[in-house]
Amino acid sequence: MKFLKLIRYQNLLMLALMQLVFHFVFFKNQTDIFLALADWQFLLLVLATVTIAAGGYVINNIMDQETDQITKPENQVVGNSISEAAAYNIYAALNIIGVGIGFYLSNLIGKPMFSGVFIGVSATLYMYATNLKQNLLVGNIIVALLLSFSVILVGIFDLYPATYEENRVQMAMLFSILLDYAVFAFIINFIREIVKDIEDMDGDYNAGMSTLPIILGKERTTKLVFGLTFIPIALLLWYLNENLLSLEWVLFYLLLFVLAPLLYFLIKIWSAKSKKEYSHLSLILKLVLLFGILSIVVITVNMKFNA
C-alpha cells in the first residue's frame, strides 16, 4: 500500500484507462483498418507509459518532502514509510523498465527514433520535479501537456506506422479525434493543476515556489480559474453542436456527466475559500476528465447502433 501511494496509483489507473479505451474500444471497432500494434504489444505500450509516469510521481514525491510536511503530512510517503534512498532506487527501476519497453516497441514497428519519446518524457518529468515546477505556470503546463500527450501516444504507435496512401484519410480522421480528446484533457488538467496550487499554497510558499496563487493571491487566482472554466464549457457546447447532435446517447451522456459537473465546478469555484473546498473541486475536475475520456465508449456504441 505504501508503494501504491508513492506512485499515486489512482492517477496511473486513469492514465492506463485513457489509452486502453482508444485501442480496445474505439480503434478495434473501426472497419477496414489495420493497427500497428497487436493487443499484447499495445499492453506493453500502456505499461511503458504507466511506469514512466509512476517514476515521475516518485521523483516528485522525493523533491516535495518539505512541502508535504506542511500541506499533507499524513499522506507523506518518502522520508516517512519509504526511505529517500529506496525511493531513488524505485525511480530508477521504473524508468529503466519504461524506456526499455519503449525502445523495444519502437524497433518492433520499425521506428527506432520513436524511443526518444520515452526518454524525452522521462527527462521532462525529472526536470519538472527538480526545477521547472517552481516557475510560474511552467509546471502546470508541463503536467497538462504530458497527460494529453499520453492520448496522442496511442496514435503515434497504433495509427501512424500503419498509415499508407489508401487509408490516409481514415487514419487522419481517427488521429484528429485523438487530438480533440488530447486538447480537452490538457485544458481540464491545466485548470486542475491551478486549483491544486491554490490548495497547496501554504506549503509551496514555504518551499520558495512561484505558483500562480503565490504571485496573484488566492482570491484573484480563484477568479481566474472561474474565467478559464468557460473555455472547456464553450468548446464542449461547440463540439456537441458541430459533431454529435445526431448521436442522442452521446449528447445525453456528455450533458449529464461532463457539462453538468463543469457547471457545478463553475458555480462552486467562485465562492471557494477553504482547502477542503479546493480539494473537492479538484476531485470534480478529475471526474470530468474521466467521464470525458469514457465518452469515446458511448460514441463507439452509439455509432454501431446507428450503422
pLDDT digits (tens, 9 = 90+) for 271-303: 988 889 999 999 999 999 999 999 999 998 887
Query: Which cell numbers hold the place of 174?
Result: 481517427
Q: H helices of the chain, where?
A: 2-7, 9-20, 39-63, 65-71, 84-108, 115-130, 138-158, 168-199, 201-206, 212-216, 218-228, 230-239, 248-254, 260-271, 275-306
Q: Which pLDDT score is estimated for 73?
A: 61
The pLDDT, as a whole number, for residue 307 is 57
Query: What is the model's pLDDT at position 96?
Result: 96
Q: Amino acid letter at 143?
A: V
CA distance 169 to 7: 39
As a whole number of Å, the end-to-end CA separation of the chain is: 46
- Rounded alpha-carbon distances, angstroms, from residue 157 to 12, 110, 125, 170, 242: 19, 11, 21, 16, 29
Cell triple for 23? 485501442
How does residue 66 score in pLDDT terms, banded at 50, 70 and 90? low
What is the share, in percent, of the chain residues with pLDDT greater than 70?
A: 94
Under the banding of pLDDT at 50, 70 and 90, the label for residue 83 is: confident
Q: What angle do CA 108, 110, 113 make, to 5 degrees?
A: 105
Res 79: pLDDT: 64
Q: Which residue matches cell numbers 484528429?
A: 176
According to the model, what pLDDT value does residue 77 have?
76
